[in-house]
Structure 1
Amino acid sequence: MLYLYDGALDVPTILKDWYEQEEKSNYGAYIPFVGTVRSEDNIDGLSFDVYEPILESWFKSWQEKAKQKGAIIKMAHSKGDVMLHESSYIAAVFSPKRRVALEFIDEFVEDFKASAPIWKYDLKNGKRVYALDRSTAIKGSGILK
């Protein structure tokens, strides 16, 4: 349940849809995380490039981890431009037990920041500039010597 959208995410609609998809699934916990573009370094917003094949593989591994705990994970992310105070990222865990959901969402969001193949650019003065100082190298990436 990986969803990619062009531009900013419609948070209320996505969270409502996810809740309605699972409301009869007998999960005791629904823990969402919403990431919002914040004002910093005089940016007008952020822009995102997504490498979908690797993202889908990465997400599939997390779905398997969730399944082993009796839970499910959903994620939505933006492609392209997202302006200040709009959302670019939503993740949610549905689980029979709250502790599983609370711990799993934390692990998932942290690994997303470290491992997801999504490149972030600052939008400044009409230009798209790679946000190198706020980016994390993906494990195993780089130039081979």
Structure 2
Amino acid sequence: MIGLTDTPIDHAALVAAVSDPEHGGIATFIGTTRRESDERPVAALRYEAYDELAVTELRAIAAEAAGAWGARIAVVHRRGEVAVGEPSVAVAASARHRPAAFAACRYVIDELKARAPIWKQTVHADGGTTWIDGCTTDHAHVQGSTPHA
């Protein structure tokens, strides 16, 4: 189970996908939308991806982790709008022993963040938006009202 989705992430399905009677450890990571970013209230996050390339990169990252730690990997990332408290990304890794499962899980999320063509836009409660690269659109200002700090 490796891919992108427009629907809520099913954590149990990821764990089931990596379950193996030969593996004694399963590590998971779930990244959720925080209520605040840069001291501004957040309404949601929006994700866009270059789908084909993102999935290819996720598969490559999973294969690297599998090779390095003998792990089974599942990873799913959301596209579209993700509300506060909802998962944006989830990784599950199983391995013979817990240190390998933890290492594989951490490797996958760290490499995904560094390499996958998936872009995040913060939607602030005041209507403004901020892309992860720092590009901002302050809708409140554009509409003529006072910008929020």
TM-score bin, normalised by smaller chain: 0.7 to 0.9
How far residue 21 of structure 1 moved from its aligned partner, in angstroms, is 3.8
Code of the aligned partner of 2:95: S
- Paired position in structure 2 for 1:103: 103
Distance 1:123 1:55, change over 3 A: same
Query: Which blocks of at least 5 consecutive residues in structure 1 are unaligned?
Result: 135-145
Deviation string for 1:64-121 (max 9, x for gaps)? 2233232111111111001111111101111112111111212221122221111111
Code of the aligned partner of 2:59: K
How far residue 35 of structure 1 moved from its aligned partner, in angstroms, is 0.3
TM-score normalised by length of structure 1: 0.77
- Paired position in structure 2 for 1:139: none
Deviation string for 1:5-31 (max 9, x for gaps)? 215x24xxx222233344454211110
- Paired position in structure 2 for 1:114: 114
Query: Which blocks of at least 5 consecutive residues in structure 2 are unaligned?
Result: 136-149
- Equivalent residues, number: 130
Q: What are the residue-to-residue correspondences of 1:89-100 with 2, within 5 Å?
A: 89-100=89-100
Tell me, yes or no, if structure 1 residue 45 matches structure 2 residue 44.
yes
Whether the 8 Å contact between 1:28 and 1:96 is mirrored in structure 2 is yes
TM-score normalised by length of structure 2: 0.75
Whether the 8 Å contact between 2:35 and 2:41 is mirrored in structure 1 is yes
1:57 and 1:24 map into 2 onto residues whose CA distance is 24
Identity of aligned residues (%): 24
Higher gyration radius (CA): 2
1:109 and 1:23 map into 2 onto residues whose CA distance is 19
Q: What are the residue-to-residue correspondences of 1:7-26 with 2, within 5 Å?
A: 7=7, 9-10=8-9, 14-26=10-22
1:24 and 1:100 map into 2 onto residues whose CA distance is 14
